[in-house]
Amino acid sequence: MSLLQVNNLVVEFPHRRGTLRALDDISFDIAPGEILGVVGESGAGKSLTGASIIGLLEPPGRVASGEIRLEGRRIDNLPHEEMRKVRGRKIGAIFQDPLTSLNPLYSVGRQLTETIITHLPVNPAEARKRAIQLLRDTGIPAAEQRIDHFPHQFSGGMRQRVVIALALAAEPQLIVADEPTTALDVSIQAQIITLLKTICKERGAAVMLITHDMGVIAETCDRVAVMYAGRIAEIGPVHEVINHPAHPYTAGLMACIPDMSVDRERLHQIDGAMPRLNAIPPGCAYNPRCERVFARCHAERPDLMPAGVTRAACWLHAGSSAAPTLAQGEVA
């Protein structure tokens, strides 16, 4: 059974000249203990999807249609106070920049214990004990002393560990991690990835991992959703999507990654740029950049359809549940 279900989610931003549709008919689910990666260029809608699930859409953004269900309960239409009880207790969040996630005026211990007391039936002494254990679990040495330190007294990697401890404080079933390794060096990235995998394995928590880095996706995730212009272009098991991409956009992304076994002077580049929300072309939004475009791509917008093991929103797979996928790096 799925822990999280997102069904036909549409997010809009009304403004004086009309309405911009930032997310258009997004559907996916995440099972307990699963890590779902969400990848795509800047502006694809990755972080907005995460914010919609957490209930942190900035006005005038709104969920125009569709629904979000957690453990079968619909949460996208909950009143603000009800959603506050879900956020933290049921859903934890890890953001890209830990300095903006932590209050610089409070010690990390105060921030952890306040979160624990808010969501769990414990007294202050028990909350502090839990907070120290969380810091230990996330790999912070001398947790008994460091708990009384302030965010500026931690390194970038250690601050991100504190943010992860904060996300786990109320033992949530789902963690939305929005580019948690982007600002960290490679060795710290590897430690954070290992930590996220351990959390899933030991706690049974599901993780939605938002990132630009296909290497992080390959190392961490069970499945991956590739987003483009506010829609899911392809979704499926991570190794299938990476090694046998079914959508030309996914193939283009994979071709942009350096291959150390091949001597190349230049990397492949996807021509053009992500369309603006007020200038999304008719048909498939990727058609101006696609090297395999044909007439139907300009006239009709494809929905996700079977494409071998994965599902892809591409007319190349219309009418066949076993259509041949694109080889890695193939852009025709």
**pLDDT per position as a tens digit, 289-307:** 998 999 999 999 999 999 9
Single out the residue of 166, 181, 163 nearest to residue 220, CA to CA: 181
The pLDDT > 70 percentage for the chain reads 94
In whole angstroms, what is the distance from residue 332 CA to residue 249 CA?
12
pTM of the model: 0.88
Lowest mean per-residue pLDDT among 68-77, 175-184, 258-267, 268-277: 258-267
Q: Tell me the per-residue pLDDT of 71-93, one tens digit each, with 9 for 90 and over.
A: 999 999 999 889 988 998 899 99
pLDDT for 133 equals 93
pLDDT for 327 equals 42
Q: Is the pLDDT of residue 323 over 60?
A: no
Q: Residue 168 is encoded by which pair of tokens?
A: 């786990």
Q: Residue 320 is encoded by which pair of tokens?
A: 């066949």
Pick the most confident of 154-158, 224-228, 260-264. 224-228
Averaged confidence pLDDT in the chain: 88
Lowest mean per-residue pLDDT among 6-10, 27-31, 217-221: 217-221
Lowest mean per-residue pLDDT among 27-31, 163-167, 252-256: 252-256
Q: Residue 317 is encoded by which pair of tokens?
A: 């797979």
Mean pLDDT of 234-247: 95
Quote the Cα angle for 77-82-83, to 5°: 65
Q: Is the pLDDT of residue 330 over 70?
A: no
Query: Range(s) for CATH 3.40.50.300 in the chain?
Result: 33-45+80-221
Q: Tell me the per-residue pLDDT of 110-140, one tens digit each, with 9 for 90 and over.
A: 999 999 999 999 999 999 999 999 999 888 9
| Cβ-Cβ contacts under 8 Å for 263 (sequence gap 6 or more) | none
| Residue that wins the pLDDT comparison between 202 and 27 | 27
Mean pLDDT of 249-275: 81
> pLDDT-derived band of residue 204, with 50, 70 and 90 as boundaries?
confident
Mean pLDDT of 146-175: 91
pLDDT for 183 equals 66
The CATH class of 33-45+80-221 is alpha beta
Distances (CA, A) of 91 to 37, 86, 214, 260: 17, 6, 25, 39
pLDDT for 96 equals 79
Would residue 47 be called left, alpha or beta, if left means φ above 0 and alpha means ψ between -120 and 50 degrees? alpha
* 119 and 169 Cβ atoms separated by less than 8 Å: yes
